[in-house]
Amino acid sequence: MGEPVVLYCSDRGNWLCPVCATEWFDSSDWLGELFLECLDVCNVCNTQIGNEDVDEVPANPENPPEKRWAKLRTTWLERSGYQAVDIRRLEDVFGIDM
Ligand SMILES: [Zn+2]
């Protein structure tokens, strides 16, 4: 994957989806960036982690994971209609100013 990427973790030690910030229960077994290779589908934003978000091998420095996540996030929000609960979670977790 190249350069390190920032992943968020819940108080319980589970990973948060890098696209929609939903907590993935029982995901604490994946250590660090291995989570990004899990190939499971997020049940909230429908992103298949390790596939859709890392579509270029080798990684393109012009298109880092953070940029792809942001794009997937916009697509998901447009599809789901920018729900207030989702916006609030993104602001709380990622500090994104929507
Ligand atoms: Zn998600």
**pLDDT band at 88, cuts 50/70/90?**
very high
Residue 20 resides in a domain: yes
CA of 58 to the centre of ligand 1 (A): 24
Residue 17 resides in a domain: yes
In this prediction, residues 24-50 reach a mean pLDDT of: 83
CA of 33 to the centre of ligand 1 (A): 16
- For residue 22, the tally of other CB atoms under 10 A from its CB is 18
CA of 45 to the centre of ligand 1 (A): 4
In this prediction, residues 46-67 reach a mean pLDDT of: 75
In this prediction, residues 49-58 reach a mean pLDDT of: 66
Name the residue range of residue 50's domain.
Answer: 1-93
CA of 23 to the centre of ligand 1 (A): 8
For ligand 1, a single-atom ion, the residues with CB < 5 A are 17, 19-20, 22, 42, 44-45
Q: Could you tell me the pTM of the whole model?
A: 0.83
Rounded CA separation 58/85 (Å): 36
Residue 98 resides in a domain: no
Q: Which is more confidently placed, 61 or 3?
A: 61
CA of 46 to the centre of ligand 1 (A): 6
**Token pair in block for residue 45:** 């934003």
Residue 88 resides in a domain: yes
HEC sequence for 50-97: CCCCCCCCCCCCCCCHHHHHHHHHHHHHHHHCCCHHHHHHHHHHHCCC
Number of domains the chain is built from: 1
What do you get for the CA distance between the two ends of the chain, in Å?
Answer: 28
**DSSP 8-state class, residue 35:** G
